[in-house]
Amino acid sequence: MVNILVILIEILLILFLTDLLTWCQVAEILTNQITDLGQSVTINCGLDLKEVTWFVLNLPDPPVLILRSFSNPPATFYFNNRFRQKYSVQPKHNLFINNVSIDELGVYYCTNIDRTAQFSNSTRLDWTTRILGDFFFFVTSNVIHESHQSILLFYFYFFHNFSLFSVSLQETVEGFIGGSAVLPCSSEKPPITIQDITVRWRNKYDKIVYEIIDGQVSVEEQDQQYKNRVESFPEEYKRGDFSIKLYNLQHTDAGLYGCYIFMKKESVVFRSVELLIKEKQIPSEGTKPRPEMTVMIISILFIGIISSLAVSSFISHNKHVLHIVIK
């Protein structure tokens, strides 16, 4: 048992170092973008992806998730509603920051959140007065940033998926191997028209589970793992219910799922659910009735019924005879 534990620790340590080296490679380029407070700026993403997530680093604090940008159709999900006043998305997932204040200064990245872990070059947003008035602080903070950036990126990568889905975890659903399970997702405010609705289901690795685009089911980019295994309930769309049913459950289906509901002229709704997969409950040999026991029980019941009928017949006959004798 101890040897197995040691091996597991060694494997985890190797995975940690591998990921850490990966982060060191993606954090090589840092671009400084200088602005005046009160001005608006655009930060380029540079990744040719259909979906990206923007976040900002400010040492020694952990990364802050800002928004998630979708391109087909264009839509934006904000991790905090207060970011709506400051941030918006331009073509090619570029980030627009309105009326920059000290709170928006930091190092910005856009990235995908699946296992491929693609990162844009980092862009450090700073303001002119601080750079001109305190050059030593700027240079020193750059050195600190370079030496700790990879560790923070690893932190982001390791905890991001869990924190994203668990913060708004709605409920837990249980299913059995080979069976089916309904993953709930609904909006309190039903859509005015079905055509105004876009729904995106993602698993914990950000794979496409199911999509409803402009009110129509779209499986063109569905991950192969879920092909012909997922369905929704179109008759429930008008009620704001976009739950899905997953068939032929496997162990690999277990985990957290996220559901994004985009309504035109309305805020984005995010729901998450955890799917637990269990083995089918098969009676053990100790509890299953043996065939010979079944035959014995049936025989006893049959003999009991026959005996009961015989006794009843005997009593009835004797009563009849007794009645004749008395007469």
Q: Could you state, in order of their start, the residue ranges of all structural domains in the chain? A: 30-166, 171-278
**Residues of the chain with pLDDT > 90: what percent?**
31
Domain 171-278 belongs to what architecture?
A: Sandwich (2.60)
**Residues of the chain with pLDDT > 70: what percent?**
62
Find residue 207's DSSP bridge partners: none
| Contact (CB, 8 A) for 243 and 182 | yes
Instruction: Identify the CATH assignment for 30-166 out of 2.60.450.10, 3.90.550.10, 3.20.20.140, 2.60.40.10.
Output: 2.60.40.10
* pLDDT band at residue 280 using 50, 70 and 90 as cut-offs: confident
Closest CA to 242 of 251, 253, 231: 231
Dihedral pair phi/psi, residue 26, rounded to 5°: -80, -10
Residue 259 clears pLDDT 80, i.e. is over it:
yes
Q: How confident is the prediction for the chain on average, in pLDDT?
A: 75
Residue 74 clears pLDDT 90, i.e. is over it:
no
Average pLDDT of span 276-302: 66
CA distance 327 to 321: 10
pLDDT of 97 reads 95
Span of 109-113, 167-171, 238-242, 261-265 with lowest mean pLDDT:
167-171
pLDDT in tens, 161-187: 444 444 455 789 999 999 999 999 998
Residue 146 clears pLDDT 60, i.e. is over it:
no
In sequence order, which residues have a C-beta less than 8 Å from that of residue 53 and are 6 or more positions away?
65, 67, 68, 69, 110, 111, 112, 113
CA distance 39 to 30: 22
CA distance 23 to 18: 9
Q: Please tell me whether the overall predicted TM-score, pTM, comes out greater than 0.85 for this model.
A: no
Averaging pLDDT over each range in 12-21, 30-39, 188-197, which range is the top one?
A: 30-39
Residue 128 clears pLDDT 90, i.e. is over it:
no
* pLDDT band at residue 104 using 50, 70 and 90 as cut-offs: very high
pLDDT in tens, 207-242: 899 999 989 999 988 999 999 999 999 999 999 999
Averaging pLDDT over each range in 40-44, 140-144, 154-158, which range is the top one?
A: 40-44
Helices 135-166 and 2-26, packing angle to 10 deg: 130
pLDDT in tens, 11-28: 443 444 344 434 444 445
pLDDT of 309 reads 60
Average pLDDT of span 248-253: 95
Span of 68-77, 209-218, 303-312 with lowest mean pLDDT:
303-312
Averaging pLDDT over each range in 149-158, 236-245, 262-271, which range is the top one?
A: 236-245
Structure token pair of residue 238: 């008008």
Domain 30-166 and domain 171-278, same fold? Reply is: yes
Residue 140 clears pLDDT 70, i.e. is over it:
no
pLDDT of 100 reads 93
Residue 55 clears pLDDT 50, i.e. is over it:
yes
